Amino acid sequence: MQQSLESTHGSQGSAQVEEGGVALTRDEALVGRVLSDRYLIGERIARGGMASVFRATDRRLDREVAVKVMHHGLGDDEQFTARFVREAKSAAKLNHRSVVSVFDQGKDGEVTYLVMEFVPGHTLRDVMREEAPMPPHRALELLEQVLVALSAAHAANIIHRDVKPENVLITPDGEVKVADFGLARAVSAATTATGGTLIGTVSYLAPEIVTNDGADARSDVYACGAMLYEMLTGLKPHSGESPIQVAYKHVHEDIGAPSEVRPGIPPYVDALVARATVRDRDQRSTDARVMLQQVRSVRHALDAGLVDDPDLVSDLRPGGRVADDDDAPTVSVPRAAFGASASASARTEAVSIPEATMQWSSRPDGAGPGTVSSDGGPPALVEGSDRPSGLHPLMSPTDYKTAKGGSKTSRRGRNLLIMAIVMALLAFGIGYYLSVGRYTDTPVLIGQSETVAKDNAEKLGFGFKVQKRSFSETAPLGAVIQTDPGPGDKILPGATINADISKGPDRVQIPKDLKGMTLAAATEALAEIDLKVDPEQKSVFDENVAKDRVVGATNYTVKDQLKRGSTVVLAVSKGRKPIKVKDYRDTPLAEAKAGLEDVGFKVSSSEVFSVKIDEGNVVSQTPNDGTQFRGDTITLTVSKGPEQVKVPDVVGEKRDDAEKILEKAGFKVQALSLGGGNFTVRGQNPGGGTKKSKGSTITISQVPFP
Q: Are 484 and 520 in contact (CB under 8 A)?
A: no
Which pLDDT belongs to residue 349?
33
CATH class name, domain 124-164+200-322: mainly alpha
Is the per-residue pLDDT at 49 higher than 70?
no
**Pair 469, 274: CB distance under 8 Å:** no
Per-residue pLDDT at 327 exceeds 80? no
Q: Which string of b and e fits 155-176 if b means at least 16 CB within 10 Å?
A: bbebbbbbbbbbbbbbeeeeeb
**Given pLDDT bands bounded at 50, 70 and 90, which one contains residue 633?**
very high
CATH number of 507-573: 3.30.10.20
Q: Where residue 627 falls among pLDDT bands split at 50, 70, 90?
A: very high
> Does the fold of domain 578-639 match that of domain 441-502?
yes
Rounded to an integer, what distance in angstroms lies between the CA atom of residue 666 and that of residue 646?
A: 10
Mean local confidence (pLDDT), 227-244: 94
Q: Which residues participate in catalysis according to the annotation?
A: 162
Mean pLDDT over 14-30 rounds to 55
Q: Is the pLDDT of residue 611 over 90?
A: no
Which one has a higher pLDDT value, 109 or 291? 291
Enter the CATH code of domain 644-701. Answer: 3.30.10.20
pLDDT greater at residue 335 or residue 432: 432
Q: Helix, strand or coil for residue 621?
A: strand
Residue 597 has pLDDT above 70, yes or no: yes
pLDDT score, position 364: 35
Q: What is the structure's pLDDT at 63?
A: 92
Higher-confidence position of 21 and 518: 518
Q: How far is Cα 567 from Cα 621, in angstroms, rounded to an integer? A: 49
User: Tell me, what's the pLDDT at 137?
Assistant: 94
Phi, psi (degrees; rounded to nearest 5) at 227: -65, -40
How many Å apart are CA 549 and CA 683, to the nearest integer?
A: 78
Share of the chain above pLDDT 90, in %: 50
Q: What is the mean pLDDT of the chain?
A: 79
- Cα dist from 184 to 218, 248, 565, whole Å: 16, 20, 32
Residue 328 has pLDDT above 50, yes or no: no
> CB neighbours of 405 closer than 8 A, spacing ≥ 6?
none
Contact 458, 496 (CB under 8 A): no
Reported as a pLDDT band with limits 50, 70 and 90, residue 475 is: confident
Q: Measure the CA–CA gap between 657 and 655, rounded to whole angstroms.
A: 5
**pLDDT over threshold 60, residue 8:** no
* Residue range 677-706, pLDDT digits in tens: 788 888 899 988 898 888 889 998 877 776
Distances (CA, A) of 647 to 594, 650, 661, 666, 672: 39, 9, 10, 9, 18
Residue 5 has pLDDT above 80, yes or no: no
What gap in Å lies between CA 509 and CA 511, rounded to an integer? 6
In Å, how far from its chain's centre is CA 282? 35
pLDDT in tens, 160-188: 988 999 999 999 888 999 998 866 554 44
Assign residue 214 a region: left if phi > 0, alpha if psi is -120 to 50, beta otherwise?
Answer: left
Where along the chain do its domains lie?
11-117, 124-164+200-322, 352-437, 441-502, 507-573, 578-639, 644-701
Burial 467-478 (b: 16+ CB within 10 A, else e): eebeebbbbeeb
Residue 266 has pLDDT above 70, yes or no: yes
Residue 595: which pLDDT band, with cuts at 50, 70 and 90? Answer: very high
**What local confidence, expressed as pLDDT, does residue 674 receive?**
67
**Which of 171-185, 318-332, 519-533, 610-624 shows the lowest mean pLDDT across its residues?**
318-332
**What's the whole-number mean pLDDT along residues 408-423?**
64
Between residues 359 and 149, the one the model is more confident about: 149
Q: Provide CATH code, domain 578-639.
A: 3.30.10.20
Which of these ranges, 119-133, 202-216, 385-399, 501-515, has the smallest mean pLDDT? Answer: 385-399
Is 11-117 a CATH 3.30.200.20 domain? yes
Amino acid, res. 213: D
- The pLDDT > 70 percentage for the chain reads 75
* Helix 78-92, helix 183-195: angle, nearest 10: 160
- Fold classification of 441-502 (topology level): Trypsin Inhibitor V; Chain A (3.30.10)
> Which helix (H) or strand (E) segment is 303 a member of?
helix 288-303
Q: What is the pLDDT of residues 435-454, one digit of tens each?
A: 445 678 899 898 899 999 99
**Mean pLDDT over residues 281-300, rounded?**
95
Q: What's the mean pLDDT in 509-513?
A: 90
